[in-house]
């Protein structure tokens, strides 16, 4: 299950060519499930905080600038990255897309998060915050707020439909394997990948990077 690739790198999708060599096609998305601030570089934390604060206050120009800088400087796509916490069990799970919808950003700004930076429309919050329920998608937040003009933009296109009961069983088994591999203590502070988000990816692959203290490397889902 472990794949020893530097944890802060964007992992490429690889496919064999006719000569059985490995050819790099494109980067695959990252599941940002490590929500802890501990043992991270100060400059990296500064950039992640800049993104989270800009998203929280609806400062979309700063959000976009920081997303672009994250790709250039750290090789990471942060459109689905929640705010990091000293206690990851108290993380809200709100991504820049959730915040953009809640703060009333324009359709253009929201489409840009999705189309240019890869924001997931199936990603769910962890905590409710000012919303009536936890575990809400950006579309459900918009519906709660009465922002019906955003529904067509936020409705996910599902390329890989799996019945909920089947997906739930697969995810439960997958999470069990990860906990067994890492040890339950190491996995406790992680938000393990929600397989639902793979449904809107044309190529249903996602990288879940782990730092050395959590077992090093990562898991490809």
Where along the chain do its domains lie? 12-156+205-220
Angstrom distance (rounded) from CA 28 to CA 165? 26
Alpha carbon 126 to chain centroid distance?
12
CA pseudo-torsion sign 55, 56, 61, 62 = negative
Residue 184 has a pLDDT of: 76
Angstrom distance (rounded) from CA 52 to CA 64? 11
End-to-end CA distance of the chain: 10
3-state class of 69 per DSSP?
helix
Alpha helices in 57-137 (DSSP H): 60-74, 96-102, 107-115
- The burial class, CB within 10 Å (0-12 / 13-18 / 19+), for 60 is buried
Q: Model confidence over 52-70: pLDDT tens digits?
A: 999 999 999 999 999 999 9
- The burial class, CB within 10 Å (0-12 / 13-18 / 19+), for 156 is middle
Residue 218 has a pLDDT of: 59
The model's pTM: 0.85
Residue 137 has a pLDDT of: 98
Using alpha carbons, select from 158, 117, 162, 111 the residue that is nearest to residue 138: 111
CA pseudo-torsion sign 41, 95, 32, 85 = positive
Tokens 């905080």 appear where? 49
Residue 25 has a pLDDT of: 36
Angstrom distance (rounded) from CA 14 to CA 203? 12
Q: Report the CATH fold assignment for 12-156+205-220.
A: 1.25.40
**Which residues of the chain have a pLDDT value below 70?**
1-27, 212-221
Q: Model confidence over 104-143: pLDDT tens digits?
A: 999 999 999 999 999 999 999 999 999 999 999 999 999 9
Tokens 């020893």 appear where? 4
36 strand-pairing partners: 85
């Amino acid at each position: 299950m472990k794949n020893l690739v530097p944890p802060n790198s964007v992992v490429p999708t690889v496919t064999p060519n006719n000569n059985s060599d490995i050819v790099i096609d494109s980067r695959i998305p990252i599941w940002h499930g490590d929500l802890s601030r501990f043992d991270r570089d100060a400059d990296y934390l500064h950039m992640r905080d800049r993104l989270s604060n800009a998203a929280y206050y609806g400062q979309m120009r700063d959000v976009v600038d920081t997303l672009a800088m994250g790709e250039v400087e750290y090789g990471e796509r942060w459109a689905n990255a929640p705010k990091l916490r000293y206690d990851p069990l108290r993380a809200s799970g709100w991504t820049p897309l959730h915040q953009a919808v809640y703060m009333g950003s324009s359709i253009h700004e929201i489409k840009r998060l999705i189309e240019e930076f890869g924001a997931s429309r199936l990603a769910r919050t962890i905590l409710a915050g000012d919303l009536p329920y936890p575990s809400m998608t950006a579309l459900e937040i918009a519906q709660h707020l009465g922002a019906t003009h955003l529904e067509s933009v936020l409705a996910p296109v599902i390329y890989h439909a799996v019945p909920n009961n089947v997906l739930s069983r697969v995810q439960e088994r997958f999470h069990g394997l990860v906990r067994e591999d890492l040890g339950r203590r190491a996995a406790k502070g992680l938000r393990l990948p929600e397989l639902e988000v793979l449904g809107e990816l044309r190529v249903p692959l996602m990288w879940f990077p782990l730092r050395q203290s959590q077992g090093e490397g990562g898991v490809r889902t």
